[in-house]
């Protein structure tokens, strides 16, 4: 019985003494009209613009190279990435903005990736 009690005490104390896990740093970069060979980090050997910091981020971090967009224009695609939902599910099919798609808005109550990161 004493052995079990000491095991529980040690277990509880060790959880208090151990440092908390650090929150990860996440850098999400979404670039419009960026070709696969436009930067050296993705194998662009003829890249004319040096991107040493971006190359280092890619080398030291995780690089996702197989992604697909949900829409052919940027605003609905970004909305889908932020919310995890198809942009048409927000019921904003009407024309807005100078090109007809900039007016897309979603409710502030909508769950987003940013809100999930803040919760931790």
The string of DSSP codes covering 69-115 is -SSSSHHHHHHHHHHSS-GGGG---S--TTTSSTT----TTS--HHH
pLDDT on residue 38: 82
Residues 38 and 75 in one domain: no
82 in a structural domain: yes
Question: Model pTM?
Answer: 0.56
**Burial of 62 (C-beta count, 10 Å sphere; 0-12/13-18/19+):** exposed
Closest of 88, 85, 82 to residue 117, by C-alpha: 82
61: containing domain:
25-67
72 in Cβ contact with 88 (< 8 Å): no
List the chain pLDDT tens, one digit each, 120 residues.
Answer: 566 555 555 655 555 566 656 777 888 887 777 777 788 888 888 888 888 998 998 899 888 878 777 777 777 788 888 888 887 787 655 555 555 555 556 777 888 888 888 887
CA distance linking residue 30 with residue 69, whole number of Å = 11
Residues 74 and 120 in one domain: yes
Residues 61 and 83 in one domain: no
63 in a structural domain: yes
Please count the structural domains in the chain. 2
Closest of 32, 31, 33, 34 to residue 44, by C-alpha: 34
pLDDT on residue 97: 53
Residues 82 and 58 in one domain: no
17 in a structural domain: no
């Amino acid at each position: 019985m004493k052995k079990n009690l000491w095991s529980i005490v040690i277990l509880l104390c060790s959880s208090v003494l151990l440092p908390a896990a650090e929150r990860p740093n996440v850098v999400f970069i979404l670039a419009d009209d960026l070709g696969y060979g436009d930067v050296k980090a993705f194998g662009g050997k003829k890249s004319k613009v040096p991107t040493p910091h971006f190359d280092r981020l890619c080398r030291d971090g995780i690089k996702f190279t197989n992604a697909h967009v949900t829409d052919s224009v940027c605003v609905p695609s970004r909305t889908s990435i932020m919310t995890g939902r198809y942009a048409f599910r927000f019921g904003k099919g009407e024309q807005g903005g100078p090109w007809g798609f900039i007016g897309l808005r979603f409710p502030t109550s909508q769950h987003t990736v940013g809100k999930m990161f803040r919760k931790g």
